[in-house]
Structure 1
Amino acid sequence: MTISTRIAASGLLLAALAGAIPAVAQQPAQTTAVPAEPAPFPPQQQTTYAEDDVLGAAEDVFGKGTEGLAEAVRRTFAQYGQPNAYIVGREAGGAIIFGVRYGSGTLYHAVEGERKVHWTGPSVGFDVGGDGSKTFALVYNLYDSEDIYRRYPAAEGKAYLVGGIAINYLQRDKVIIVPMKLGLGWRLGINAGYLKFSKEGKIIPF
């Protein structure tokens, strides 16, 4: 067999072997998916107001260092805990035995935000004179802001003075409102009655 014949035979043998062995398809490189990091938990929503926050808001109304203000807030917190709302506003009233008062302001709710509120109320008692004052009120157990728009009778025997701050209590069902007022003006005596809160101002106080 000549050299050229041997080379040709080798070529035929290599071609036959190449046809017998199937070509291996190139597989794409596999990558391991890295799981995404879980999103951080959202910050817990504030549902009540801390004592320092309330005192700061009250000082914005009455002035920092107002006599008896810190003690009035501390005493209310000691009795009822942290409120979930408060009211900032002004009111005016007068009486000769029978009295009336009108007020308006803003309700700040820890969960539901702000809304306007008005209040009126009659009173009767050993009461004569008139007054006008800034008002700051702590509100407890107000889980739905709409529940503020009702009539709240004064809690019997719940009224006192701490320094220059006059405090009384209103309650209906579980909702408690603790209005604080700076001074008594020239209105004297004691009275009993209620406050009716509404969305719009009213002339008739009943």
Structure 2
Amino acid sequence: MTAAAGAARAQERPAEFNPDEIVTSGHKFFGAISRGLAEAIESATRKWGRPNGYILGQEASGAFIGGLRYGEGVLYTRNAGQLKVFWQGPSLGFDAGADGARTMMLVYNLPSTSAIFNRFGGVAGSAYLVGGFGLTALALDDIVVVPIRSGVGARLGVNVSYLKFTPTSTWNPF
């Protein structure tokens, strides 16, 4: 593929995935927790419609009042290709603990793959010991990113946070 063709493809609006395709991909990625995953995807689909992208990856986070989250994965789209992405971000709130998670992020209303490289803010809550499963929503303008996490660790709290998506890894969460 030429550089010009690759650039044109990156600016193309990704086509939507149907819920069954997302659930199948999630089953392969998450394995045994697939019932909770299917319920989370159905809930997100009822609220935001059909995603036109999804990210599969892993992340780690920790917090004591203030926290940090770092992750990496691949953005999948139906017609605009795949794209390696990294994310990082701070949080602030009544939150304590640490966790590592496999993460699937449903992406809604993504106008082009390059539009993922922004900051998406939201409110998150966690309550688990040893392992857990959670869903939150982050937004920027019309784009909504819904992280679905399955992880191990201990976490309790509520926080305000954002995730900054970047094309390369960085330790700077801001």
- Please give the TM-score of this superposition, normalised by the length of structure 2: 0.84
Cα distance change of structure 1 residues 192 and 184 upon mapping to structure 2, 3 Å threshold = farther
Q: Is the contact between residue 61 and residue 98 of structure 2 (CA under 8 Å) also seen in structure 1?
A: yes
Pairing partner for 1:74 from 18, 42, 48: 42
Letter in 1 for 2:117: Y
Pairing partner for 1:179 from 140, 147, 152: 147
Pairing partner for 2:109 from 134, 138, 141: 141
- Alpha-carbon separation, structure 2, partners of 1:121 and 1:72: 23
- Structure 1 residue aligned with 2:166: 198
- Structure 1 residue aligned with 2:79: 111
Structure possessing the higher relative contact order (Cα contacts under 8 Å, 6 or more residues apart): 2
Deviation sequence 1:98-138 (CA, Å, 0-9, x none)? 10010000000122110100000000111111110000010
- Structure 2 residue aligned with 1:63: 31
RMSD of equivalent CA atoms: 1.8
- Alpha-carbon separation, structure 2, partners of 1:74 and 1:147: 25
| Number of matched pairs | 157
Q: Is the contact between residue 61 and residue 99 of structure 2 (CA under 8 Å) also seen in structure 1?
A: yes
- Structure 2 residue aligned with 1:11: none
Letter in 1 for 2:26: A
Whose strand proportion is higher, 1 or 2?
2
Q: Is the contact between residue 49 and residue 82 of structure 1 (CA under 8 Å) also seen in structure 2?
A: yes
- Structure 2 residue aligned with 1:84: 52
**Same amino acid, percent of matched pairs:** 41
Structure 1: runs of 5+ lacking an equivalent:
1-45
- After superposition, residues 26-45 of structure 1 pair within 5 angstroms as none
Letter in 2 for 1:48: E
Letter in 1 for 2:88: T
Pairing partner for 2:138 from 170, 174, 183: 170
- Please give the TM-score of this superposition, normalised by the length of structure 1: 0.71
Q: Is the contact between residue 72 and residue 165 of structure 1 (CA under 8 Å) also seen in structure 2?
A: no
- Structure 2 residue aligned with 1:24: none
- Alpha-carbon separation, structure 2, partners of 1:71 and 1:172: 25
Whose Rg is larger?
Answer: 1
Q: Is the contact between residue 92 and residue 103 of structure 1 (CA under 8 Å) also seen in structure 2?
A: yes
- Alpha-carbon separation, structure 1, partners of 2:160 and 2:82: 29
- After superposition, residues 145-160 of structure 1 pair within 5 angstroms as 145-154=113-122, 156=123
Q: Is the contact between residue 166 and residue 184 of structure 1 (CA under 8 Å) also seen in structure 2?
A: no
